[in-house]
Amino acid sequence: MKRNRILAALCAACMLALSGCGSIRKEIADILKSDAEPDSSADARTDDADVPGDTGDNGGSGTSDASEGRTEVGLSMALDDDGRLDVDRNTAGSVPMGEDGTWTIFVYMCGTDLESDGGSATNDLIEMTEASTGENVCFVVQTGGTACWQNELIPDEKTGRYCIYNGEIYSFEEQPVAPMGSSDTLADFLTWGVENCSAAKMGLVFWNHGGGSISGVCFDELNDGDSLSLTEINDALARASELMTDKFEFIGFDACLMGTVESANILATYARYMYGSQELEPGSGWDYASIGSYLGDDPYANGAELGKAVCDSYYNSCLYDGQESFATLSVVDLSKMDDVIVSFNDFARELYNASENSAVLSAVVRNAVYADNFGGNNKAEGYTNMVDLAGVVRAGAEYSSGADSVLKALDSAVIYKRSGSDHSGACGLSVYYPLELQGSAELKIFGDIAISPYYLSFVDRTIYGNSHSGSVSDYDNSSVLDIWASGEEDSYWDSYGECTATGNSPLIEYYDEPQFLSDGTYGFSLTDESLWCTASVEANVYVLTGDMENIIELGVSADIYADWSAGIFTDNFDGYWFALPDGQILAIYIVAECDGYDVYTAPIMLNGEMTNLRITHDYTNGSVTIDGVWDGIGENGMASRDIRELKHGDVIIPVYYYMAIDSDDEGYWYGYEYVINGEPQINFEMLPDGEYLYNFTINDVFGDFRMTDFVNFTVDGYDIYFSEIS
């Protein structure tokens, strides 16, 4: 097993302290050809070694040759008098910084719990040593951000810098622990790296957890989970670029959810290609052995060719691990991003103007809610608010003539992608869209990174409606345009607070009150005005506790008949539900509705820890598959990376949300222990005989909702009967 090999391989690796060297390959080649034995001490340093970063003379100060002619870095976006977007990026130059056919891949490896709990970073380091890189390719790695490295080579209490080359790992230097979520730490690594480890082609990989455009990447568990935001990444790359005569060939994220248009917009100033996943990445991540060996065989490959190899090897690893269904990875030609951004702004300008009509606003929001999204986005797992960019464009295509231009530009920019069946239609780039309102703090971050002021205005209009009881007739986007243009902090966003939902939306009114229909189903209809303001309708199932004092939520049912043209909604519930083999019902929430199957999640305690059980139900043949357990989205926005397998002997306790009938008390309710015996199994069967509760949640387009009153339903064998509460 790879996990067993890695400790021995890393512990046996050579450790050398290298001086500042303009050509890493020559320096290492000379050492390897010499008769001197390498020093295997982790603390080995030559007394006279001029190690960059020791005095500040070389680390980050720049050199006159590398920065010649580069007086400014960054990105400028401005609207002309017609509302068209002008994008101006600094010219980065195209003079290679090393001999033709050489590659350096910088890996910013923030280990966090991926390493301290599972050794994932250690595994990837050994993959790098297993790569047949040849003499012209090396990985340069900075380590940090984890409480405990699962090998004896890398110290827990230091920030380390290593070169992995020709199957060996060499230590450049060790420094005091630095916060990996700091732009200063990233900038110091990159400026040091491009000064001392330059090559004709250079890549940069962010290795860790990701959270999407809002939460960023590289969450440091030694510093309260602090992460690198996109603006911090931009700042660090700008500083490194002052020393560069060429762009990075690629910048990639070996992390969840970072394949976004906001990320691509930032990186387009500094790199030719971006590699990123719209969805979660399994803990195993990229296949560095394949990546290094690919470049070893063809060191003259460009970023597009390498990107295809990265995608293919990653997808094959997911396939091997049985996690390909949700896998995504794409290669983006960043030279095409300005076309995407300009066309998207044109699209968004028309869409924003059309959304003054409440019926248009409602239709677009409703379509966006049902677009492909990534990272869970449900009550149990949390929200990332990352939605497929093409899905958002198609959501408003009927109301903006620019949709086709955006889709064409997207198709040109995303030059290669791999995706599993859960996301077979994903375009390769996500965009922020507030599926769940998160409040002022999130809006401030989005305001800093939004690619279009009109799309920002469209989003802001929906948030404004939430805080103004659904009234947007007096909404004015002038403040948003000013904030976007200036890039300065503004108290405007503070007025939204936490954007809490009342649960009693004033916009939802019935044409026909919820009632039992002649065919025995339960349903209602909405007025035309309410239908325009409705984003989605869900059905909920509950059960009373034995003492009749608490209502336990069993989750959400997708079995609804919805006639959106007439505004009529009725139940289509057949009484089937998911349960453990011991008969305990699970609380179920929808993750994705796919072609021929649906993906669900259920909150559980697994061996004493809170997590979520992912389940796939193939309704064409009735099969139920356990995908594994996933911890979801943390309070800091970090997406858990591992979807772990259940195994024999694991202890599961079902978890439910509950609310008290006669008080405001609410929280978690727990089932009983179930110990997996043999192969894990979930049943999809009729609910046990008994009495249950049922109602609808009607979500408006501004993030508020209204719930219908409860009704009873009775399960008797394979029969189900609805009735009024007696």
- Of the pLDDT bands very low, low, confident and very high (cuts 50, 70, 90), residue 561 is very high
pLDDT above 80 (res 45):
no
pLDDT above 80 (res 487):
no
Place of tokens 């209009």: 461
CA dihedral (193, 194, 199, 200) positive or negative: positive
Q: Is 586 exposed, middle or buried (0-12, 13-18, 19+ CB in 10 A)?
A: buried
Residues 290-304 have pLDDT tens digits of 999 999 999 999 999
Domains of the chain in sequence order: 2-44+101-337 (3.40.50.11970), 342-417+436-496 (no CATH), 510-723 (no CATH)
Contact 406, 343 (CB under 8 A): yes
- Of the pLDDT bands very low, low, confident and very high (cuts 50, 70, 90), residue 666 is very high
Place of tokens 């050509």: 23
Give the model's pLDDT for residue 672: 97
Percent of the chain with pLDDT over 70: 90
pLDDT above 90 (res 97):
yes
Give the model's pLDDT for residue 726: 73
| Residues 249, 254, 255, 256, Cα dihedral to 10° | 90
Lowest mean pLDDT among 269-283, 381-395, 467-481: 467-481
Lowest mean pLDDT among 5-14, 288-297, 555-564, 663-672: 5-14
Contact 270, 241 (CB under 8 A): yes
pLDDT above 90 (res 675):
yes
CA triple 470-473-478, angle to 5 deg? 110
- Of the pLDDT bands very low, low, confident and very high (cuts 50, 70, 90), residue 139 is very high
Lowest mean pLDDT among 48-62, 76-90, 165-179, 697-711: 48-62
| C-alpha–C-alpha distance, residues 181 and 110, integer Å | 9
Contact 321, 281 (CB under 8 A): no
Lowest mean pLDDT among 135-139, 368-372, 546-550: 546-550
Instruction: Provide CB contacts within 8 A for 274, sequence distance 6+.
Output: 250, 251, 252, 259, 263, 264, 267, 268, 331, 332, 334
- Of the pLDDT bands very low, low, confident and very high (cuts 50, 70, 90), residue 379 is very high
Phi-psi region of 203 (alpha: psi -120 to 50; beta: other; left: phi over 0): beta
Give the model's pLDDT for residue 352: 97
Lowest mean pLDDT among 38-47, 69-78, 564-573, 654-663: 38-47
Mean pLDDT of 700-715: 93
- Of the pLDDT bands very low, low, confident and very high (cuts 50, 70, 90), residue 21 is very low
Mean pLDDT of 671-675: 97
Q: Determine the distance from the C-alpha atom of residue 232 to the mean position of all C-alpha atoms in its chain, rounded to a whole number.
A: 17
Give the model's pLDDT for residue 68: 29
Residues 302-358 have pLDDT tens digits of 999 999 999 999 999 999 888 999 999 999 999 999 999 999 999 999 999 999 988
pLDDT above 50 (res 55):
no
pLDDT above 80 (res 31):
no
Residues 601-639 have pLDDT tens digits of 999 999 999 999 999 999 999 999 999 999 999 989 999
Strands 103-110 and 137-144: parallel
Residues 202-245 have pLDDT tens digits of 999 999 999 999 999 999 999 999 999 999 999 999 999 999 99
| C-alpha–C-alpha distance, residues 262 and 450, integer Å | 7
- Of the pLDDT bands very low, low, confident and very high (cuts 50, 70, 90), residue 8 is very low
Give the model's pLDDT for residue 520: 84
Give the model's pLDDT for residue 44: 31
Ramachandran angles phi, psi of 201, nearest 5°? -130, 135
| C-alpha–C-alpha distance, residues 160 and 174, integer Å | 5
Give the model's pLDDT for residue 282: 84
Give the model's pLDDT for residue 92: 74
pLDDT above 90 (res 57):
no
**Number of other residues whose CB lies within 10 A of the CB of residue 506:** 13
Q: How far are the Cα atoms of 15, 53, 170, 277, 672 from residue 49, in angstroms, in the given order?
A: 15, 12, 15, 40, 62
- Give the chain's mean pLDDT: 88
CA dihedral (411, 413, 415, 416) positive or negative: negative
Give the model's pLDDT for residue 54: 33
Give the model's pLDDT for residue 421: 93
Residues 412-462 have pLDDT tens digits of 999 999 999 999 999 999 999 999 877 788 999 999 999 999 999 999 999
Instruction: Provide CB contacts within 8 A for 275, sequence distance 6+.
Output: 250, 251, 252, 253, 307, 310, 311, 329, 330, 331, 332
pTM: predicted TM-score of the whole model, two decimal places: 0.90
Q: Per the structure block, which two tokens stand in for 44?
A: 């080995």
Contact 672, 561 (CB under 8 A): no
Q: Give the number of residues written for the chain.
A: 726
